[in-house]
Amino acid sequence: MAETRDSFAHLILNPAAGGAAAYLSELTKTARERRIRVSVLQPGEDMRHAALAAAEGGAQVLGVAGGDGSVAAVAGVAVEHGIPLAVVPVGTLNHFARDLALDLARPLSALDAFYAGHERRVDVGRINGRLFINNVSLGVYAEMLADPGYRLDKLGVAQAKFQAAVFDPEFRRALRIAPPDGAPLEGVLAVVVSNNRYEFARWDRFGQRHRLDTGTLQVSVLDASTLDELGRLLAGTLIGAMEFRPAFRHWTSERLVMGTLGERLRAGVDGEPITFEAPLRFSVYPGALRVLVPEGLPASRQAPPLEAGWHAARALRRWLRPPPAEQKGRSDNTWIPMNQDIPGPRRPDETI
């Protein structure tokens, strides 16, 4: 089918993200049938540059099919140009899509947002001017992401980095941070600054954000100077008492500054490894991102324990899945076709 060059809606697809390759043909075909222009990212091509080209070419709605890193890159352009964003969740973990309550089992159903969706305003965070939609990780996880072997051996690299961090006092001193009501913490293994509040107290809701529009950052600190403390902390997550472990602290704020001037710190920004020069300046911009979501999504993100457990199991399976080159032609995802007798995308200024 010929490219829809006069469409105001533009979808950018990253085939290297998670299970995107398995959906490439169907997603491209279905989007173009709905008069949505599609750009497939080529090897070495930058997602942000592709989004800028689409916006400067007249796109009035930007869509992104990919993981959280891809979504964050396109979201930054959407915020800069004041245009809505639609998300098709075909990444590995899809944290942002999950917190929007999108249907991860039927990712192509997210295309409904282009023509029969409604708009939500959600917050975005920034670190030294760079936008993030989920969180910024410092410490152990950032070191894992920066390791060349992480993609092929996640658990092995994670174990090595945790062990090295626990026994390296210099590593922990680099993450020196003070809670609002206390003295600086000296044994910090990890800091996570998130866009809105994550649930940590209950295992069945662990890592969920029930709202994306509170206008706050959550600062979470893992302050475990020994392996015993780390073990007790992890055990606390299983009995729902993580929030009360002294080794884990969190608080909310609208801004945060940390790091020594001139120091270079590794960070994981929405899962992408990036090195920043300190001081690190975090801030939140309430309602800065316009997101189009399909009609009929649940208003609450709370899930019963059994459902949450299955979600966690599926996420872990995707996390441990071999790279795309090793699983070519395999997919355990299912796609349920949408109704084909539907109109094209609705312009942002049209009413339903």
Strand blocks (E) in the chain? 9-13, 37-40, 61-66, 85-89, 117-127, 130-132, 135-139, 188-195, 217-223, 248-253, 255-258, 264-269, 272-277, 280-294
Contacts of 26 (CB under 8 A, 6+ apart): 108, 335
Percent of the chain scored above 90 by pLDDT? 41
Name the least confident of 17-31, 88-102, 105-119.
17-31
- DSSP-derived secondary structure letter, 244: G
pTM of the model: 0.77
State phi, psi for 60 to the nearest 5 degrees.
-100, -10
Name the least confident of 59-68, 133-142, 267-276, 335-344.
335-344
Domains and CATH numbers, the chain: 9-125+287-326 (3.40.50.10330), 131-285 (2.60.200.40)
pLDDT digits (tens, 9 = 90+) for 265-315: 999 999 899 999 999 999 999 999 999 999 876 544 444 444 444 454 555
- Bigger pLDDT: 331 vs 318: 318
Location of structure tokens 């930054």: 76
DSSP 3-state of 241: coil
22 by Cβ neighbours in 10 Å (0-12 / 13-18 / 19+) ranks as buried
Query: Average pLDDT over the chain, rounded to whole?
Result: 78
Distance CA(147)–CA(170), nearest Å, equals 19
Distance CA(185)–CA(193), nearest Å, equals 16
